[in-house]
Amino acid sequence: MSVGAFDQIFIHLKQWLLSPLAGRVPGWLLQIVSSLLNIAVLLGVFLTLFALMSVLERKILGRMQNRYGPNRVGPFGLFQPVADGIKMLIKEDIVPVSADKVVHFLAPILVAATAILALGIIPYGRNMTPFVIDGGILFFFAVGSTTELAVFMAGWGSNNKFSMLGAMRAIAQMISYELPLIIAVLPVVMIVGSLNPDRIVLAQKYYYFGFLPHWFVLTPWGATAFILFFVSGLVESNRTPFDVPEGESEIVAGHMTEYSGFKYATFFMAEYLGMFAVSGLAVTMFLGGWHPPFPFLAFIPSYVWFFAKLSVLLFTFIWVRGTLPRIRVDQMMNFAWKFMLPMAFTCVISSAVWYYTGHRLLAWFWSFAVIAVVYIVLSLFLDTRRKFTPRTYRFAE
Amino acid sequence: MTPTLQFFLIVSAALFCIGLLAALSRRHAIFILIGIEMMLAAANLNFIAFWRFGARSPAPIGVMVVIFSIAIAAAEAAVGLAMVIAIYRHFRTTNVDQFNRLKG
Amino acid sequence: MNTVAFAIIAIFTLTFALAAATNPRLMHAALSFAAMFVGIAGFFFLLGAEFVGLVQIFVYVGAVAVLIVFTILLTRRETQPHHGFKWGGVIVAGAVFAGLLWAIIKTSAVSIAAPLVKALTVKQIGEVLMTQYVWPLLCVGVLLTAALIGALVLVMEDRSER
């Protein structure tokens, strides 16, 4: 597998940029400058991707609903984010009189900050992880759990009953689905033996029979864990069908009700960045990171593969949004605690079965059998169809 | 000059005394719990500081104690807050000066 | 280990701890409490125990702080009575701090610099947790289950009385 010249182009570029400083400044200053460069590039790439995605989402949703999306501003409507950005920036910033000024101001900043922090540990290409932390996956989840507190601050700081209700619902939803999210990641961490995202990507670099990739999504426990992780990621970023916190017909805009202009744009950006972070982690853990699916395609640079896989996942996010209606709050809670959590534990057991019965075809069969048995049992127990009796009509005689 | 162990111990002692202050002078039940959590956190900081500066054995004992301590503190906070809610339902107040009747 | 980093994290942590202990506004005190734990996690990173720092942020800021703000919300009255502040606590806390400070400064064995050591990896922690400390791990699991069930039982409304 040859590594093309384009693959490491950004690494060489960064080294060339830092070379005037290399010998002349103390080590800690060089480290700080290098980190700042990483952060600047990360922010630049992902804010551009956010802008692009906000217009692409509207266009794709429009096409799914048999209409054009925005197509007035620029070629095919692609300059729409510029227009949106200008609109958000020049809107009047209204803060309610009885709102808690400090908390109301800090909440959108914290939500966006935690979403951006989570992007820092994902490997985007060969040697292209912004910050290599030994417990990278744990860092991702620690930062994700801080989002709940920031959402609560947004809801409480607005001093508004709708905001408070919306924030409580959002936090209940996020806490319930955090458990399947983390436990779905556990089989991968167990099989690889490390929490370092680089090692997890490296463990998926082998190819069976020379051409089938060793991605974890192609194993029974990996496929189930990927579906669980993806659905929990949908919930964590408050996307339809789980967008109860921002359901317009129910609680106005939930915890974002009292925010206008740029602060609302910050919430919007934080939601999309959360989506990118969850998709990025799903690509890293289940879809093989920056590895190409077949070894003869290795001439394409690694970051291109990463962003291609990321785009597929983001398209699936948009696709699900255009297809499914909103789920009721109690249905969502039931789903999390009664179905997803047992399935997540089953994935862990199934991956252990796969690992300990060797890597032959029998291992695939046994681990699939474990998952299938638990799924069938759960479907039988959680069947709600028989609770509805046939409708009886009574007419006035 | 690099920080010696004394700096970390002084900071953790200060944190412990601030937690003691919260636990002793506040009259709201939840704040007393906050003070207790602060004291636990100060003790954890002490453990890690001593582990870092001390003679290194093969086992990371200080880190292990702190991991279990964090888990136990979380469990204790959960039960303590459940108790505060249960008491509030009965007394309709969270002022600990008014929890002076045993009749339930 | 850098003195500047230590000073910044120490000032951050102690400021938010004081705010949590003395601020009469409940919510601000609870949010300062969460910020203080981020500061303590910073200390853990400085001391080389990154895994513990991440677990601290995860458990305390993500779970305990959210529990505390929810409880403050659930135990609120429309007219918030002003809870008092007993000044005797300040004297006791000050005395305890003076005593501890004297003890720390007088002990010469603790004014040592940090030895240069290898970083502690998560793999080592995992190995030790599963071999030497497996009994405490199982006990903590049982304890957390008992705490969960106990907390639920305490706050469950008695439906049979209605």
Sign of CA dihedral B6, B7, B12, B18: positive
Residue A119 is classified by DSSP as G
Q: What is residue A1's predicted lDDT score, i.e. its pLDDT?
A: 42
- Give the span between the Cα atoms of A278 and A284, in whole angstroms: 10
Judged by a CB distance cut-off of 8 A, whether residue B10 touches chain C is yes
**Are the C-beta atoms of residues B49 and B9 closer than 8 Å to each other?**
yes
Test C147 with B73 for CB contact under 8 angstroms.
no
Test C21 with B85 for CB contact under 8 angstroms.
no
Q: What is residue C96's predicted lDDT score, i.e. its pLDDT?
A: 92
- Residue of B63, B64, B99 to mutate, interface with C, max C Cβ within 10 Å: B63
The fold of the B5-92 domain, in CATH, is Helix Hairpins (1.10.287)
Chain A touches chain B, with at least 3 Cβ pairs below 8 Å, answer no
| Per-position pLDDT tens, chain C of length 162 | 578 889 999 999 999 999 998 888 888 899 999 999 999 999 999 888 889 999 999 999 988 999 998 888 888 776 566 666 777 888 899 999 999 999 988 887 666 666 666 777 888 888 888 888 899 999 999 999 999 999 999 888 766 544
Residues in chain C within 8 Å Cβ distance of A148:
62, 66
DSSP calls for A174-238? HHHHHHHHHHHHHHHHHHHT---HHHHHHTT--EETTTEE--GGGSHHHHHHHHHHHHHHHHHTT
Q: Which residues contact A80 (CB under 8 A, 6 or more apart)?
A: A54, A55, A58, A70, A73, A74
Q: What is residue C83's predicted lDDT score, i.e. its pLDDT?
A: 67
Single-letter amino acid code for the residue at A188: V
In chain B, positions 56-85, which contact chain C (CB-CB < 8 Å)? Answer: 56, 59-60, 62-64, 66-68, 70-79, 81-85
A54-58: Cβ within 8 A, 24+ apart: A54/A80, A54/A81, A54/A84, A54/A268, A54/A272, A55/A80, A55/A81, A56/A318, A57/A318, A57/A321
**Nearest CB to C67 within list B4, B16, B81:** B81
Single-letter amino acid code for the residue at A129: T
**Nearest CB to B20 within list C29, C71, C92:** C92
- Give the span between the Cα atoms of C147 and B77, in whole angstroms: 9
Residue B100 is classified by DSSP as -
Going from the first residue of chain A to its last (397 residues), give the mean pLDDT of each consecutive group of 10, the final group possibly shorter. Answer: 69 83 78 89 92 91 89 84 88 83 89 91 87 89 89 84 82 89 92 89 80 82 92 85 70 72 87 92 90 82 90 93 86 88 92 82 84 88 70 78
Rounded to whole angstroms, the maximal C-alpha distance in chain A is 98
Q: Rounded to an integer, what is the distance from CA A87 to the centroid of its chain? A: 27
Residues in chain B within 8 Å Cβ distance of C84:
27, 97
Q: What is residue A185's predicted lDDT score, i.e. its pLDDT?
A: 93
Q: Is A353 left (phi over 0), alpha (psi -120 to 50) or beta?
A: alpha
- Give the span between the Cα atoms of C69 and C37, in whole angstroms: 15
**Are the C-beta atoms of residues A171 and A151 closer than 8 Å to each other?**
yes
**What is the SS3 assignment for B28?**
strand
Residues in chain C within 8 Å Cβ distance of A141:
58
Give backbone dihedrals phi and psi of A137, rounded to 5 degrees, phi first: -65, -40
pTM summary value:
0.89
Q: Give all chains having 3 or more CB-to-CB distances under 8 Å with chain B.
A: C
What integer best gives the mean pLDDT of chain B? 87
Bridge partner residues of B26 (DSSP): C85
DSSP calls for C65-105? HHHHHHHHHHT--SS-PPP-B-THHHHHHHHHHHHHHHHHH
Test C2 with A153 for CB contact under 8 angstroms.
no
Test B8 with C44 for CB contact under 8 angstroms.
no
Q: Which residues contact A275 (CB under 8 A, 6 or more apart)?
A: A233, A237, A239, A314, A317
Residue-range domain boundaries for chain B: 5-92
Neighbours of A25 (CB within 10 A): 14
**Nearest CB to C120 within list B1, B22, B60:** B60
Test B17 with C140 for CB contact under 8 angstroms.
no
Test C61 with A145 for CB contact under 8 angstroms.
yes
Q: Give all chains having 3 or more CB-to-CB distances under 8 Å with chain A.
A: C
Q: What is residue B90's predicted lDDT score, i.e. its pLDDT?
A: 84
Test A138 with C31 for CB contact under 8 angstroms.
no
Q: DSSP alpha helices (H): ranges in A238-340?
A: 248-251, 262-285, 302-323, 329-334
Q: What is residue A386's predicted lDDT score, i.e. its pLDDT?
A: 59
> Please, how many CA atoms are within 13 Å of residue C58, restricted to the half-sphere of its CB?
20
**Are the C-beta atoms of residues A304 and A4 closer than 8 Å to each other?**
no
Judged on CB neighbours under 10 Å (0-12, 13-18, 19+), C1 is middle
**Nearest CB to C96 within list B2, B20, B77:** B20
Single-letter amino acid code for the residue at B89: R
Bridge partner residues of A197 (DSSP): none
Distance in Å, alpha carbon of A140 to nearest chain C alpha carbon? 9
Judged by a CB distance cut-off of 8 A, whether residue C27 touches chain A is yes
Question: Is residue A241 reached through a cis peptide bond, with omega within 30 degrees of 0 on the bond before it?
Answer: yes
CA-closest candidate to residue C21, choices B37, B41, B21, B30: B21
Distance in Å, alpha carbon of C98 to nearest chain A alpha carbon? 35
Judged by a CB distance cut-off of 8 A, whether residue B98 touches chain C is no
